[in-house]
């Protein structure tokens, strides 16, 4: 009996076309739904949640007592052919929308497109925004004007892409300033030209001063009040006093600081056994007049339960920064153990000042230790790595080369404290009261009304950092000039530490979680270890060969000294002397050749390491993908072959059964 073949209702072509049409409809519907339904949805897969609104921002906008309006001026029509700027502007727009959504209506965002020769363009210019001119004659505006319900107004003139990693902090600081128009008062005592830069008053009078960028950050958050370096009393309005590399202070000034702490005042001190920033040359080629190379306050430090040896400087091999090796070296960079790049494992993870930091750059820092009879609690918040040692100050002042420091380096095998928080009860450093000045017979009448305190009213809260070079712009920031404005692009969190510490001592923590949210510098630690080991071997071999060359040259010089003077002196050499001199000259040439080979081998090792890393980065993943594809292809072919064999056996079995039945 012959069975009729049943034809399908739809042909394969119709079925395929239907599937294609339905898939297209589903794709369009899904995209439309996701655009509308998930407009504000975000999936942040970065290591430190760099694109997720921080808790500090959420707390701030949720706690606003009055509405704030942010006007976002963006020349959208002009930047259509500038993809990078358009992408950055989109991120600004997204972040503003997230802030508005998280504020429960407290932050209103208005977007304005200031087209050329329009009223909106005039408004943007009048508001203080910076228009970047293009070759077409148009101007690009990308800034924010924030206002509150009274007369408060804050402006970000241009949201530069170079500060993209600080975008949330810049916007949050603008909102914070509008919500808190009265900035806290910060007292500052310093012998560094924080407000003028290395140019000092001379350039400041000419309008060409360049203040330290950390000082600019402090001014953005606080009202900074510089105190004279000799004073009798600190005003009650000052709650936090910053001592930034102060000059040696007289007993009356030290007493005023002592009583400030007794009354509950907070102190952050930056002291230094060897301040490199104070030695920075100004326009005249000399440091600022009145500079001091070192700073310390042993009398007050003792009463606070901490000490810093003025003759000790920290060196750290594991955290050494890379510097130029010198013109006579065959490699470009080398480790400089006196300058450190400290990493998160060197910071106290449970302290709000240091917990969010990624890196700190320090130079010739000091070492802090608790005193034996301290009544306070000494808590390290910044430390060296275990591969650190103590150098004598005079050795540092002799300006040894980076390689000389590496050759003589002997790690102590312990961490040394660079910054510490001091807390707990404090006793006065002046139990007998205010000391009299040389020209005084009794305490001035204006000071007699002040009660002398022998113990602190409340537990002290003091932060001490044994380095002043943390303020040096060269150490931590690249300053770029953008249409007359100075834009800071940090390479370390030095400013974050300083402002975090002041805000923490002031009692404000909302901005701390934002300030250091830039992408962390994530070095190839394995590569760094390999490089460090290679350089260590190179230096050891170089030292051995150089010693051999020096000894050979000394023997040659001694041999030549035995010869009489005159042109025919060489003819008076004995056969033994002539053979020895020839041998020494060959040995000298061989030593110099070996030294060149060692220097070349180091460079070749570094280049080979770079080539291997480049291969792993570029070729390994494609090779792995290709290998997986080959395995899958081979597996699929095997399955097809197995199915074909099974089908063949079924057909043969059916034919056999049919033949048997017939």
Residues 6 or more apart whose Cβ sits within 8 Å of residue 505: 239, 240, 266, 267, 268, 461, 463
Average pLDDT score over residue span 92-113: 91
Q: How many residues does the chain have?
A: 662
Q: Please report the pLDDT score of residue 326 as a whole number.
A: 63
Question: Residues 242-267: pLDDT tens digits?
Answer: 999 999 999 999 999 999 999 999 99
Per DSSP, what are the bridge partners of residue 378? 422
CB 517 within 8 A of CB 168: yes
Average pLDDT score over residue span 175-187: 87
Q: Please report the pLDDT score of residue 567 as a whole number.
A: 44
Q: 306: which 2 tokens?
A: 């901490």
Question: Residues 409-444: pLDDT tens digits?
Answer: 999 999 999 999 999 999 999 999 999 888 888 888
Q: Is the pLDDT of residue 52 over 50?
A: yes
State percent of the chain over pLDDT 90.
36
In sequence order, what DSSP letters do the residues of 242-305 get, joined into one string? EEESPPPPPHHHHHHHHHHHHTT-EEEEE-BSS-SGGG---TTSSPPTT--S-B--HHHHHHHT
Q: Is the pLDDT of residue 520 over 50?
A: no
Cα–Cα distance for residue pair 471/224, rounded to 1 Å: 16
Average pLDDT score over residue span 614-637: 78
φ, ψ at 39 (rounded to 5°)? -60, -40
Q: Please report the pLDDT score of residue 32 as a whole number.
A: 74
φ, ψ at 340 (rounded to 5°)? -120, 145
Average pLDDT over the chain, rounded to an integer: 81
Helix (H) or strand (E) segment spanning residue 19: helix 12-37
What's the angle, vertex CA 568, arms to CA 562 and CA 569, rounded to 5? 5
Minimal CA–CA distance to 485: which of 160, 199, 200?
160
User: The sheet that has 320-324: what strands, in order across it?
Assistant: 320-324, 333-342, 360-363
pLDDT: which is higher, 311 or 451:
311
CB 298 within 8 A of CB 315: no
Question: Residues 558-587: pLDDT tens digits?
Answer: 766 666 665 444 555 566 666 766 776 777
Highest-confidence segment of 182-196, 269-283, 383-397, 509-523: 383-397
Fill in the DSSP letter of residue 50: T
Q: 488: which 2 tokens?
A: 């800071």
The number of angstroms, rounded, from the C-alpha of 607 to the middle of its chain's C-alpha atoms is: 27
For 622, other C-beta atoms within 10 Å of its C-beta total 9
Cα–Cα distance for residue pair 430/496, rounded to 1 Å: 34
Q: Please report the pLDDT score of residue 192 as a whole number.
A: 92
Q: Please report the pLDDT score of residue 579 as a whole number.
A: 72
Average pLDDT score over residue span 608-635: 76
For 294-298, 387-391, 617-621, which range has the lowest pLDDT when averaged over its residues? Answer: 617-621
Highest-confidence segment of 35-49, 326-340, 452-466, 637-651: 452-466
φ, ψ at 105 (rounded to 5°)? 90, 0
Q: Please report the pLDDT score of residue 424 as a whole number.
A: 92
Q: Please report the pLDDT score of residue 364 as a whole number.
A: 95
pLDDT category of residue 368 using cuts at 50, 70 and 90: very high
Per DSSP, what are the bridge partners of residue 244? 190, 270
pLDDT: which is higher, 57 or 342:
342
Minimal CA–CA distance to 143: which of 170, 117, 180?
170
Model pTM above 0.95: no
Q: 66: which 2 tokens?
A: 């009055």
Q: Please report the pLDDT score of residue 514 as a whole number.
A: 60
State percent of the chain over pLDDT 70.
75
Radius of gyration of the chain (CA): 36
Question: Residues 299-331: pLDDT tens digits?
Answer: 999 999 999 999 999 999 999 998 887 655 556
Q: Please report the pLDDT score of residue 516 as a whole number.
A: 47
Average pLDDT score over residue span 58-77: 90
Average pLDDT score over residue span 511-527: 55
Question: Residues 481-492: pLDDT tens digits?
Answer: 766 667 778 889
Q: Is the pLDDT of residue 606 over 70?
A: no
CB 499 within 8 A of CB 476: no
pLDDT category of residue 386 using cuts at 50, 70 and 90: very high
């Amino acid at each position: 009996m012959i069975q009729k073949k049943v034809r399908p209702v739809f042909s394969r072509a119709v079925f395929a076309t239907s599937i294609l049409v339905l898939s297209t409809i589903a794709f369009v519907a899904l995209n439309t739904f996701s655009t509308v339904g998930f407009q504000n949805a975000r999936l942040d897969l970065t290591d430190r949640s760099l694109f997720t609104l921080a808790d500090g921002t959420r707390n701030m906008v949720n706690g606003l007592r009055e509405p704030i309006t942010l006007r976002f001026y963006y020349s959208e029509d002009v930047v259509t052919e500038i993809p990078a700027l358009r992408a950055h502007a989109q991120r600004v727009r997204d972040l503003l929308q997230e802030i508005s959504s998280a504020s429960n209506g407290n932050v209103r965002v208005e977007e304005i497109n200031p087209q050329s020769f329009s009223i909106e363009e005039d408004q943007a210019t009048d508001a203080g925004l910076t228009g970047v001119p293009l070759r077409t004659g148009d101007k690009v505006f990308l800034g924010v004007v924030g206002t509150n319900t009274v007369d408060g107004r804050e402006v970000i003139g241009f949201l530069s892409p170079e500060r993209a990693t600080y975008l949330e902090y810049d916007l949050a600081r603008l909102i914070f300033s509008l919500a808190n128009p009265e900035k806290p008062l910060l007292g500052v005592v310093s012998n560094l030209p924080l407000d003028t830069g290395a140019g000092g008053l001379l350039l400041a009078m000419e309008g060409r001063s360049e203040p330290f960028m950390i000082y600019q950050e402090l001014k953005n958050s606080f009202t900074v009040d510089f105190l004279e370096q000799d004073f009798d009393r600190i005003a009650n309005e000052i709650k936090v006093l910053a001592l930034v590399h102060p000059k040696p202070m007289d007993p009356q000034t030290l007493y005023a600081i002592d009583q400030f702490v007794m009354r509950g005042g907070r102190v952050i001190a930056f002291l230094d056994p060897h301040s490199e920033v104070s030695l920075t040359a100004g326009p005249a080629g000399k440091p600022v007049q009145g500079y001091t190379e070192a700073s310390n306050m042993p009398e007050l430090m003792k009463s606070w339960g901490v000490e810093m040896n003025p003759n000790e400087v920290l060196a750290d091999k594991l955290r050494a920064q890379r510097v130029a090796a010198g013109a006579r070296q065959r490699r470009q960079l080398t480790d400089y153990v006196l300058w450190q790049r400290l990493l998160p494992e060197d910071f106290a993870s449970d302290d709000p000042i240091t917990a969010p930091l990624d890196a700190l750059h320090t130079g010739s820092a000091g070492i802090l230790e608790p005193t034996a009879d301290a009544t306070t609690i000494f808590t390290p918040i910044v430390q060296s790595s275990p591969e650190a040692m103590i150098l004598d100050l005079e050795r540092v002042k002799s300006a040894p080369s980076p390689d000389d420091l590496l050759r003589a380096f002997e790690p102590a095998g312990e961490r040394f404290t660079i910054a510490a928080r001091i807390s707990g009860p404090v006793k006065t450093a002046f139990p007998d009261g205010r000391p009299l000045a040389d020209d005084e017979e009794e305490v001035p009448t204006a000071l007699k009304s002040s009660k002398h305190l022998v113990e602190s009213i409340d537990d002290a809260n003091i932060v001490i950092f044994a380095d002043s070079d943390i303020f040096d712009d060269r150490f931590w920031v690249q300053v770029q000039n953008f249409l007359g404005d100075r834009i800071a692009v940090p390479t370390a969190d030095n400013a974050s530490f300083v402002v975090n510490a002041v805000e923490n001592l002031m009692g404000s923590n909302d901005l701390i979680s934002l300030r250091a949210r830039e992408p962390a510098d994530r070095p190839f630690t394995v590569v760094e270890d390999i490089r460090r080991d290679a350089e260590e071997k190179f230096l050891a071999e170089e030292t051995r060969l150089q010693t051999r060359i020096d000894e050979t040259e000394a023997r040659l010089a001694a041999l030549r000294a035995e010869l009489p003077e005159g042109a025919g002196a060489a003819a008076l050499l004995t056969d033994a002397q002539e053979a020895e001199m020839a041998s020494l000259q060959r040995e000298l040439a061989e030593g110099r050749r070996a030294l060149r080979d060692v220097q070349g081998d180091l460079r070749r090792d570094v280049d080979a390491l770079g080539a291997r890393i480049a291969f792993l980065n570029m070729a390994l993943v494609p090779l792995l993908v290709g290998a997986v594809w080959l395995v899958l292809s081979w597996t699929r072919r095997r399955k097809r072959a197995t199915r074909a064999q099974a089908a063949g056996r079924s057909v043969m079995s059916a034919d056999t059964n049919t033949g048997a039945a017939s």
